[in-house]
Amino acid sequence: MDLSYGPEYDAFRADLQAFLSQSWPPHGNEADLDARQQQQHFISKAVAAGYMHRNILAKYGGSEQPADPLREAIIGEEMEASGAPWRLGAQGVGMIVPTLLEVGAEWQREQFVEPTLKGEYVWCQGYSEPGAGSDLASLRSTARLEGDEWVINGHKIWTSDAQDASYMFGMFRTEPEAAKHAGISYLLLKMDQPGIDVRPLRQLTGAVHFNEVFFDNVRTPANWIVGERGQGWQVARVNLKYERNLGGGGHTRRSYHALVDLARRTTRGGRPAVEDPEIRDRLAAIECRVRCIETSRMRSLSAVANREEDKVGLSMLVGKLYQTDTSELIVRLAYDLIGSDGLLAPTDATWGIRSQGRSSDWVDQYLFSLGGAIAAGSSNIQRNIIGERGLGLPRDLRAS
Amino acid sequence: MHFGLTEEQDLLQNTVRDFAASEVPAARLREIFEEGSGYDDSIWRAASEIGVTGLFVPERYGGVDLSLLDLALVFECLGEYAVPGPFLGHSLATLALVTGGSDAQRERWLPGLASGEIIGSFAIAEGDAIWDPEDWALRIEGGVASGAKDFVEHATGAKLFVVGASDGQLALVEADADGVSVTATEGLDRTRSLGRVSFDGAAADVLPGGPAAADAVADAGRILLAADAFGGAWKLIRATVEYTLTRVQYGTPVAQFQGVKHQLANLAAEAEPMRGLIWYAAHAFDHIEKERAHSAAVAKSHITDGAVDIARACVELHGGIGFTWECDVQFWLKRALFDRTWLGSPAWHRRRIANLGGL
């Protein structure tokens, strides 16, 4: 065991901290720009300094740095701590960029990657449909080739950022005669065009983050296909391997600290709640789970850095389910701590770290946590995956 | 940065697993469990031969001079195979001498303890299971001990007791000294025997580093119990996976049913994140003293509590057979209950976590 990053990395962290204190928050003329412009300025500086888009070639707008999981982990920690707007839409940088770089045509990389990295292009993802959730390959939205254009019809759902997006990447059925998975192609399309109808979906917290998208003879050029016809399912799987849960841990720790802070500010029987034996017991039990998440994250980081990924397969497999359950314990205790303020309407919050510690913020987080067991692979699907891939249990019986 | 096991540590675990697989096959474990002695001389000797009894002991006293992390990795394997024997009490007695003994005391006792010829035990609980060094009441005055200790591992077979006394003192008392009397207690976990040891003016040799060592040894014990419970929990999950793959109902292995599959997945999702807690706590014991007590309490409370939950679910998943005396699942259920209770309950440790963590 060696828990230190070593002098080389400590120096790297110090340089990064110095860079961040110079670059964020913005000062001088930049302070007057709008949030989006401020973000773009920050990102271009961070790329120039080699702190963002490290694994992407300079010709596509990246900073072309050698792969180094520890440096990437340090960047994640320090960027989060600084509050700088380094996170771009997950759909663009996290999904379409790696997909295009791996299987896209050269012209597609040149046209789409750099503006996406700069935050100029916002993407949304057209995967789920009303009848295709966990069973995604049963999707029914179609694209038909007419001359040099695809003509798209159908209906996508749970589409985050669709109202702001300049482009969508998605899966559409192009080979209606082919078997389920083999009939799907991966297409790109412009969101600002006739025939696209974006309808917001209000979630039970009251906030609006995702949408339904309806397609009525929507058009996209024939060469805006990624990969070959009928290979959309394989293309969509490309970015799965980029999903490494190395950033986790920090968020749960911050939630736990906010919870402890709440326990200090609220009372039970006229005393601070944090002095109540039952509250202390529940806090300590949660602390143990937070430590499990943090040490699991350390294991993953170490395994990637030392090329021992095979040793953390199961740990990574159970991560999402465990994190979901732990987040629920945190908000359940918070909801108990706010007492009758639990009758208040939730704060109308946005994504990300939203809480200012008000009771209505905790009501929002309490309700928001219900989505954790549903989004990005539901908890029951996680259990199937853990059972099948982690424990070698048989696949479900399926209706054919 | 490396938060993982070395090749040597993988090899150590493989060595212990090989020993356990050959010395403690299921049939032999069943025999020992039925006898209820919690001890087997040939197993103890075989364990000594691969260095388990002297793992933490410096080389000049005949030991292997490894770390607590290594010892915890060994205990994970002992838990996996439910290896019968007083490994816990012996390791803690040894650890007390290594960390709190004088040169003369170490010289006198460590070689025999390391080789396994002398079996040591750690006698600390009093009355209603008082596990905290602050609460020990046994008196040592004028070089003799008066009082009694309960739930002492292998009390009837140990040759040397490390005894916890008032003010967190530790003292050595030989089992055959005048004034020592031992009675066996019928314990729940039949792979580890317990007894009561009474001291009526028995000669006691106080360890000079006692009070500091007492806290450290208790923390070490908590980490080792957590490791034992963790190894047992994974053993049970794997055994239950095997069982559900072979048990057929409605014309198919019951593992095919989501009710069963998801229950097993939940157990795996609870168990695997525990691994880092053991590593971290053991590493803190070895290298980060200010985090030692807190991380040991986290590992002990979370893992031994969770291991009992896992064992209960594994009994359930075995159906009617799981509820019978014939079914081996009970070995690990009872071992988990021992691990949960010895050295303090999860709830008691959560109180300590809250206090130590500044809540």
Q: Could you give all domains of chain A from N- to C-terminal order, each with its CATH number?
A: 7-87 (no CATH), 123-236 (2.40.110.10), 244-391 (1.20.140.10)
Chain B residue closest to A397 (CA)? B256
Is B127 touching A (CB cutoff 8 A)?
no
What positions of A carry a catalytic annotation?
Answer: 243
Which of A299, A318, A386 is opposite residue B3, by nearest beta carbon? A299
User: What are the helix (H) ranges across B247-328?
Assistant: 258-271, 275-287, 292-317
Query: What are the chain B neighbours of A6 within 8 Å (beta carbons)?
Result: 1
**pLDDT value at position B217?**
96
Phi, psi of A77 (to 5 degrees): -60, -45
> What six digits make up the tokens of A14?
């110090």
The mean pLDDT value for A306-324 works out to: 93
Instruction: Answer yes or no: is pLDDT of A248 > 80.
Output: no
Is A71 touching B (CB cutoff 8 A)?
no
Instruction: Answer yes or no: is pLDDT of A245 > 50.
Output: no
Mutate which: B266, B270, B286, B348, vs A, most A CBs within 10 A: B266
ipTM of model: 0.96
Query: What are the chain A neighbours of B276 within 8 Å (beta carbons)?
Result: 291-292, 294-296, 298-299
Between the CA of residue A363 and those of A259, A376, B120, what are the distances in Å? 13, 22, 56
Closest-CA residue to B331 (of B192, B157, B153): B192
Cα separation, B134 vs B154, whole angstroms: 24
- For residues B301 and B279, is the Cβ–Cβ distance under 8 A? no
Cα separation, B347 vs A57, whole angstroms: 54
Cα separation, A74 vs A245, whole angstroms: 14
Task: Just give the CATH number of B122-209.
Answer: 2.40.110.10
Instruction: Answer yes or no: is pLDDT of A355 > 90.
Output: no
Return the percentage of chain B with pLDDT > 90, whole number.
96
Cα separation, B238 vs A34, whole angstroms: 56
Cα separation, A98 vs A356, whole angstroms: 35
The mean pLDDT value for A276-303 works out to: 96
Which of A184 and A81 is assigned the larger pLDDT?
Answer: A184
- For residues B136 and B166, is the Cβ–Cβ distance under 8 A? yes
Is A287 touching B (CB cutoff 8 A)?
yes
DSSP state of A388: I
The mean pLDDT value for A157-164 works out to: 93
**pLDDT value at position A325?**
95
- For residues A222 and A150, is the Cβ–Cβ distance under 8 A? yes
Query: What are the chain A neighbours of B359 within 8 Å (beta carbons)?
Result: 260, 263, 274, 280, 283-284
| Whole-number average pLDDT of chain A | 92
> What six digits make up the tokens of A283?
């806090």
**pLDDT value at position A244?**
47
* Same fold across B7-115 and B122-209: no
Question: What fold is seen in the domain B7-115?
Answer: Butyryl-Coa Dehydrogenase, subunit A; domain 1 (1.10.540)
Helix, strand and coil content of chain B, in percent to the nearest 5, comes to: 60, 15, 25
A126 sits in which H/E element: strand A123-126
Q: Using omega within 30 degrees of 0 as the cis cutoff, is the peptide bond preceding A200 cis?
A: no
Tens of pLDDT, residues B194-237: 999 999 999 999 999 989 999 999 999 999 999 999 999 999 99
Pairing of strands A196-202, A167-173: unpaired
In CATH, which of 1.20.140.10, 2.60.40.1080, 1.10.3720.10, 3.20.20.140 is domain B212-356? 1.20.140.10
Cα separation, A216 vs A142, whole angstroms: 10
B322, B231, B271, B258 alpha-carbon torsion, rounded to 10°: -30
Cα separation, A165 vs B216, whole angstroms: 58
- For residues B154 and B118, is the Cβ–Cβ distance under 8 A? no
Pairing of strands A271-272, B120-123: unpaired
- For residues A108 and A188, is the Cβ–Cβ distance under 8 A? yes
Which of A4, A318, A383 is opposite residue B272, by nearest beta carbon? A318
Give how far A175 is from chain B: nearest CA, Å: 33
A143 sits in which H/E element: strand A142-146
> What six digits make up the tokens of B41?
């001389």
- For residues A326 and A286, is the Cβ–Cβ distance under 8 A? yes
Instruction: Answer yes or no: is pLDDT of A315 > 60.
Output: yes
Phi, psi of B326 (to 5 degrees): -70, -25
Residues of chain B scoring pLDDT < 70? 129
Buried/exposed B88-109: b ≥16 CB within 10 Å, e otherwise: bbbbbbbbbbbbbbeeebbeeb
Map tokens 């064992």 to a residue.
B311
User: What are the helix (H) ranges across B172-256?
Assistant: 210-246
Instruction: Answer yes or no: is pLDDT of A348 > 90.
Output: no
Spans of all domains in chain B? 7-115, 122-209, 212-356
Is A315 touching B (CB cutoff 8 A)?
yes
The amino acid sitting at B5 is L
**pLDDT value at position B138?**
95
Q: Do the Cβ atoms of A4 and B1 come within 8 Å? A: yes
Query: What are the chain B neighbours of A296 within 8 Å (beta carbons)?
Result: 272-273, 275-276
- Burial class for A202, CB neighbours closer than 10 Å (0-12, 13-18, 19+): exposed
Is B9 touching A (CB cutoff 8 A)?
no
Tens of pLDDT, residues B240-268: 999 999 999 999 999 999 999 999 999 99
Instruction: Answer yes or no: is pLDDT of A357 > 90.
Output: no
The amino acid sitting at B339 is D
Is A272 touching B (CB cutoff 8 A)?
no
Chain A residue closest to B253 (CA)? A394
Query: What are the chain A neighbours of B266 within 8 Å (beta carbons)?
Result: 321, 383
**Which residues, in sequence order, are bridge partners of residue A155?**
A214
Determine the 3-state secondary structure of B163 from DSSP. Answer: strand
The mean pLDDT value for A30-42 works out to: 90
**pLDDT value at position B133?**
86
- Burial class for B134, CB neighbours closer than 10 Å (0-12, 13-18, 19+): exposed
DSSP state of A144: E
Is A386 touching B (CB cutoff 8 A)?
yes
Is A39 touching B (CB cutoff 8 A)?
no
Integer-rounded Cα radius of gyration of chain B: 20
Q: Catalogue the long-range contacts made by B26-30 (C-beta closer than 8 Å, 24 or more residues apart).
A: B26/B328, B29/B81, B29/B82, B29/B84, B29/B191, B29/B328, B29/B331, B30/B328
Maximum Cα interatomic distance, chain A, rounded to a whole number of Å? 76
Which of A377 and A131 is assigned the larger pLDDT?
Answer: A131
The angle at the Cα of A115, spanning A110 to A116, to the nearest 5 degrees, equals 100
Closest-CA residue to A188 (of A60, A96, A61, A95): A96
